[in-house]
Chains A and B, each alone.
Chain A
């Protein structure tokens, strides 16, 4: 059944394998969701085919008679009884099938919720227009890690996403791993998820939240627990000080331009939380919430005129001389 259904699904769904599809589950919850989906898909597909076939037979038989009304039939108790039994049988089958789907969906919601009790790690996620703030809480303040649009999780361990919104309603959705969870301003929602294997998956805001809703994606990076711990302790460090005059000048450009009004770079005087934390910007694979790959050219274009890439986003254009821009980029590249 599994292999055949997957083969058939391939015909209908071209994006079957991918980083952002519920049909390629990468965690226990997504797998139960996929099972329910396939069950409902096949039940409804078979019912649909039967209903359409019966309808086609009816239409085809009506065509034989042409436009004439059929002659009035004499009462036939035997025939009537057969028809009544067929209708009652179909009704009974429908009730049973609907009941099967009901039980399956109830079991799925139970199975996806059961993980929450065993969660060891909590990650705070804040939705912003239009990016994701990610915070790894710690009792010791200097170990708190802030990052953006990239959620690193240890593989094989349940992780709780403790999520709220800083402005309007957003929705957290990484379809390979779990279902959706809304992010509501002023209220925390929890979503516990687990990823089987190390790897990267893409998620997306699933609740329309303004002009750049489509450019509000994030990446889930699952790592082995050791790699994850290594990553976490590296992220908790401040930015390294400048090593060359060019980088020192780049840092000065950052600190004396509008950048400091919104961004944080650990170890400098830039400490505003309006925009993404840039302390380890160069370690991230994308910029502008998954809009562009994090390359030096994209970064230059983004800094100079973000409104040409993501119109309506909160970052203003930053006109500056080419020397300043190059030095700034050299500095940002050191923020590993």
Chain B
């Protein structure tokens, strides 16, 4: 009986310790190399073969901490000033399925780094790569693209929208096959 108790409690202890390491926090991403933004394709039409640049996205989209940092930076760097809390204003909304310059992580990355016509400034050289990836992960969570255990569940300030965690997943046309619209016969 005593032995069973000992075995059970050691299993519980191991599980507790293992459970503590839920995610990896990247505090020191090391020296950033060249910006990879120039390697990103905006469309699937290209010249010759495609050289896919390495994407660091999954490292950040798998970490609730990184996405939370993205949410903090989204306000700190004043993304909120134009895009509001996802609903848009001066800039386009980020919580819907419409993406003018592409919804894929690498495309959002280059949108932030390069800037886009009619108002989106270029943040090249102003934000370190890893923070851009954190912003990308957060922007993706605004339209429900991240799993609910990673997307932020609440705000530090008065909530203006549903939590990202509870956001219905949108299906951008460049990532998902859209239901075929039946044309009405005239």
Contact = CB atoms under 8 A, between A and B. Distances in A.
Contacts of B76: 261-262, 272, 274
A101 B76 CA distance: 49
Looking at chain A's contact residues, is the secondary structure mostly helix, strand, loop, or mixed? loop
Contacts of A308: 28
Contacts of B156: 167, 185
B125 interface: yes
Contacts of A185: 156
Nearest to A273: B76
Give the one of A256, A261, A311 with max B CB within 10 A: A261
A267 interface: no
A308 B30 CA distance: 10
Interface string B6-46: 00000000000000000001011111100000000000000
B114 interface: no
A156 B29 CA distance: 49
B128 interface: yes
B89 to A, nearest CB: 20
Q: Which bracket fits the contact residues of A?
A: 10 to 19
Given A185-B156, A274-B76, A311 B28 contact: yes
B28 A307 contact: yes
B174 to A, nearest CB: 30
Contact of A261 (B30, B32, B77, B130): B77
B27 A307 contact: yes
Dominant secondary structure of chain B at its interface with chain A? loop
Contacts of B126: 257-258, 260-261
A317 B127 contact: no
A319 interface: yes
Nearest to A255: B126
B131 interface: yes
A311 B128 CA distance: 16
Contacts of B130: 316
B67 to A, nearest CB: 16
A312 B125 contact: no
A305 B28 contact: yes
A319 B32 contact: yes
Interface string A141-175: 00000000000000000000000000100000000
Contact of B31 (A256, A258, A262, A319): A319
Interface string B117-138: 0000000011110110000000
Contact of A257 (B28, B31, B125): B125
Nearest to A318: B128
A185 B155 CA distance: 13
A213 to B, nearest CB: 16
Interface of B: 25, 27-32, 76-77, 125-128, 130-131, 156
17 contacts: A167-B156, A185-B156, A257-B126, A258-B126, A258-B128, A260-B126, A261-B127, A262-B76, A272-B76, A305-B28, A308-B28, A316-B128, A317-B30, A317-B31, A317-B32, A317-B128, A319-B31
Given A167-B156, A311-B27, A317-B30, 15 more contacts: A257-B125, A257-B126, A258-B125, A258-B128, A260-B126, A261-B76, A261-B126, A307-B27, A316-B128, A316-B131, A317-B31, A317-B32, A317-B128, A319-B31, A319-B32
